[in-house]
Structures are given as C-alpha cells and as structure tokens.
Amino acid sequence: MIYPLKTKTPEPHIIVIFGASGDLTKRKLIPAIYQLFINNHLPENFAILGTSRTKLSDDEFRGRITEFLPATDEPNSEFLNKIYYQSIDYDVNEEYIRLKDRLSDLNIKLNIPANYLFYLSTPPNLYDLIPERLAIANLHLQTDGFKRLIIEKPFGNSLNSAKSLNVSLLKNYEENQIYRIDHYLGKESVQNLMVTRFANGIYEPVWNRNFISRVEITSAESLGVEGRGGYYDHSGAMRDMVQNHLLQMVGLVAMEPPVVIEANAIRHEVMKVFQSLQPIKPEDIGKQVIRGQYTASTIKGVATAGYREEPGVDPASHTETYVAMKFFIDNWRWAGVPFFIRTGKKLPTRVTEIVIEFKPTPHHLFAQGGLDQNTSNQLIIRIQPDEGLLLKFNMKEPGAGFKVNQVNMDFHYSDLANVKLPAAYERLLLDCLMGDATLYSRGDTAEAAWNFIQPILDAWTNDPSIPIYGYPAGTWGPYESDNLIEGDMTWRYPCKNLSDDGLYCEL
Ligand code: BG6
C-alpha cells in the first residue's frame, strides 16, 4: 500500500498539545501522529507532550490514548514511549516556566533540539492567552529552534474578535509561525481541485462567466450536533462551516491560477477572491440567505429529536443548523455568475461536493427530442465520500429520431488501487512540521471571510423579521432554499455514490 506523503522527514521536534484531555486530541491528533509515525514520516527523535488542566501521569495519559489507536495493532510501545504529559493551569505565568523546564529536560533526555510545535486544541477563549503566556516564558523565540503555533477553528467568533486575535498573536509571533487550521484544506480531494483546474488544458479556458452559468457547493451532514450542543448553540452553521470550510472551497474554485504552488502565492489568490465577494445588501439578506433549524421527525422509522431538544441547546434557540445562500464574485472572471452554497446538519446523507453548471447550448436543435434547459453539462467535483469527478453530458438515445439523454462520465478516486488517502490531520500536521503553510489560512483571509459574513450575522441578530425556517430532520432543509435558484432549476440532490442523484435515493 502506497502512503503518498512527503519524502523528507521533519527535523527532530516536540509537539506540545494544549487541551490534551479533549476529544480532538484522542480522536484526530494522536491517531494522525501515529499514522505519520508508523509510515516513517517522523524523525527518530520526536516526542509529544500532552498538557491540560486534568492531573494525569505520563502512564495514565498513555492509557487514555491507547484505545484511540487502530484496534488491530498491538499497543505500540515504541510510539507510546514518546508520549509525555504535564498538567497546567493556563492562567498562571509560572506554569509556563514549569512547562519550559519540562521541555528542556525532554530535549536533553531525548536528544532533541528546541523545535516546538504548540497545538492549541483548547476552548477558543484560550487562543490568545496561551500564546501570550508562552511568549512571557520566551517560548516563542526561534533562536534555538522553530516555534510554531497551530490554532484550531473557530478563529474568532466575529469579525472583531478575529481581528483582535490576529493582533494579539502578531504581537509576539511572525505570521509564518502561526498556522490557522482548516481541516478541509487537508482533504486530498480539496487539493485535487487545484490539480483538476490547473493541470488540465480543457477546463481553464471554459472556467469563467462565458461558459459557466452557476456554481453550487453543498456540504451536507446526516449527523446532528452529537453532544456538542453547548458549543454549537453559540456558533451555528454560518460560523461553524461557512466562514471557514465552505468559503475556502469557494476560494479554490474561483481563484486565478497562482504563479507557483507555494503558500503565499496560493493564499494571495484566495485572498483576492475573498476581497471580490459582493457584500449582500441588508435588504437582500432575507432573500439571499436562508437559515433553517431541524425539527423532530422520524428518520427511517426512528424518532429523531429536534435541535431544540438536544442537550446543551436553549429550548427557544434561534441558532441555524442549515444555511443556503446566493452571492456573486465581483471580478472579471465571475461577474454575473451566481454562487450557491449550502450546509446543514441532519440532512439525508453526508456529502460534500462542488457542481459547476455550464451554460446550455445557444440553440436547442434537439428540443423536440426531449432535451430541455435542465440538461446543461455539469462537472461535479466530489470531496467526500466516494471522492472523484463526474461529468454529465448529453447523448443520443439509440433508435429512431434524435432523443437526447443525459449520461455520466465518472472517475472515482478508489479506482487508484493501492493508495491510502492520508487523513486531513496527517497531511496538515506534517506540513506544519516541515514549515509549509500552503494549506493553512492566512490571518488576512480569515478576516476577509468574517468581513463577508458578519453583516449577515448582525442582521440575523438585529432584525427579527428575518425568518428561521424549520425543516424535519432527515430532509434536505427548508424548501425556501430551492427558491434561491431561478426558474425551474434546483440544487443537485447528491447520494452517497457520486454517480447517483435524486431526492429519495438514500432510502
Ligand atoms: C467541523 C465542524 O469543523 O467540521 C463540525 O465543527 C462538522 O460541526 C465538521 O461536523 C465536518 O467535517 P467533515 O470532515 O466530517 O466534513
């Protein structure tokens, strides 16, 4: 099995995980580091120092982690021996001196230079405090080795808080020490978007307003808030998914070709897209942005609670679990082309995909034979699951006359046998250890994304006349979102399998 990541390994280092007793550490970070380790992507000398408020010994922490490593493997003692733990009281300056002493001990004991990656997997209110305290202990200085920060999402809760977080971080750190993670950018299929566009001569010439009638991005989840009600009720789909994952995908679909495949060149192009997002006028927000919240229903015969009944959620909550919106990008390439994006929880299936809808032929030669406006060519870029590409085009039905039918040409990543797609966190952690920020958001792009959505969030808070629509759990969201798309056009209703679509196909 090929494991297609970098050929070079990072320098010896220590990864310090803040919030080490939390869910993300167990479910994503440790398993990702483990995969990098067993696939020989890490240097011989490296260590992980978990830290959080909980008091644990090294062995207790190792014990907690073991159950999240692949079930088929024997506990890998070589890996577990690289894991250490130290509790911390985040507010107390002296605790960071204690942390520094522990790191120095590990440096000597394990023969590792002072290369530290600080991973902030804590509640967001600590994203400025921890880096600031690290700096008071001089743990930000790169004189004796690299010092990098990975900041989990959400990066801010509003435009203002994102701005102040940037200001606070940049007081002590250079931009190239700060890695703002958006795990969608670590997905293999999201990166393939750039390859599809820029390594094929056939797409780029038609990738513009002259040939494309609209772009549609769907990121649907069948799960609900899964015990995260307390967090989610203060966030909602706009902050949780649109501000980051969906807008990053818009950036990659819409950007100009970068000069080189390199962090700043790509992020510069994404930034230009974000700067060109046409602000949605206050009076249009109710029409162009549809918000919804799932209500109780029966899914496949099983009674399912509504969002307001979820633990941690205010029973009168107005938080949106669904957003669909229409907007434009004001630049030469995209002027006049509507972008439709939607995301929601408790939808019929889990799927993320981008649909490029091409303009119909100028003259409908075969209209009598059954071809109508809905059979324009579509290119579907499937991000997950069943990653791949699908082109929908028209063919003559065999037989008399000219009856036209739409058919599929599809490529599924799974056809590339023998390749294990690395998980997003594996790719992103390794990139950060190598000092490559290409797949991380830059401070200014994070702010630009907030700048676009903040007026919508403000309107929702301040204008009670903007409705929040209920939709029964297990359906495709409020039907009002269909009205966003003009005429008799509608969203594509994707299924698990890339080549299938239709409202009811998962039943
Ligand atoms: C996270 C959101 O960033 O992305 C979650 O906080 C969401 O609410 C998740 O479920 C979706 O990620 P993926 O990789 O499962 O599509």
pLDDT, tens digit (0-9, with 9 covering 90-100), for 323-353: 999 999 999 999 999 999 999 999 999 999 9
CB-based contact 133:169 (threshold 8 Å): no
Q: How far is the CA of 35 from the centre of ligand 1 (A)?
A: 21
The pLDDT assigned to 422 comes to: 83
pLDDT classification of 366: cutoffs 50, 70, 90 = confident
The secondary structure of 147-183 as a DSSP string is EEEEEPSPS-SSHHHHHHHHHHHHHHS-GGGEEE--G
- Which of 183, 228, 382 gets mutated to test ligand 1 (max ligand atoms within 8 A of its CB)? 183
Q: At what angle do helices 443-462 and 159-172 cross, to 10 degrees?
A: 150
Q: How far is the CA of 256 from the centre of ligand 1 (A)?
A: 27
Q: What is the pLDDT of residues 132-157, one digit of tens each?
A: 999 999 999 999 999 999 999 999 99
The pLDDT assigned to 373 comes to: 44
Q: What is residue 501's DSSP assignment?
A: B
Q: Name the residue with the closest Cα to ligand 1, atom 13.
A: 184
pTM: 0.93
Task: Please indicate whether residue 403 or residue 452 has the higher confidence score (pLDDT).
Answer: 452
Give catalytic residues, as residue numbers: 245
Q: Atom of ligand 1 at shortest distance to CA of 352?
A: 16
Handedness of CA 229, 230, 234, 240 (dihedral sign): negative
Q: Say how far apart CA 188 and CA 191 lie, in whole Å.
A: 5
C-alpha 457 chain-centroid distance = 20
Q: Say how far apart CA 447 and CA 270 lie, in whole Å.
A: 12
> 86 forms bridges with which residues in the sheet?
51
Lowest mean pLDDT among 308-312, 383-387, 498-502: 498-502
Of residues 102, 89, 4, 98, the one with CA closest to residue 48: 102
Q: How far is the CA of 225 from the centre of ligand 1 (A)?
A: 10
Q: What is residue 396's DSSP assignment?
A: E
Residue 346, phi-psi category: left (phi > 0), alpha (psi -120 to 50), beta (remainder)? left
Please list, in sequence order, all residues whose beta carbon lies within 8 angstroms of the beta carbon of residue 181, skipping any fewer than 6 positions away. 150, 151, 152, 153, 428, 440, 441
Q: What angle do CA 234, 238, 239 make, to 5 degrees?
A: 55
Average pLDDT, the chain: 92
Q: Say how far apart CA 314 and CA 299 lie, in whole Å.
A: 23
> What average pLDDT score do residues 425-453 get?
96
Which runs of consecutive H residues, i.e. helices, occur in 20-155?
Answer: 23-24, 30-38, 58-66, 77-80, 93-110, 129-136
Q: What is the pLDDT of residues 405-419, one digit of tens each?
A: 889 999 998 888 777
Cβ atoms within 10 Å, residue 385: 15
The pLDDT assigned to 3 comes to: 55
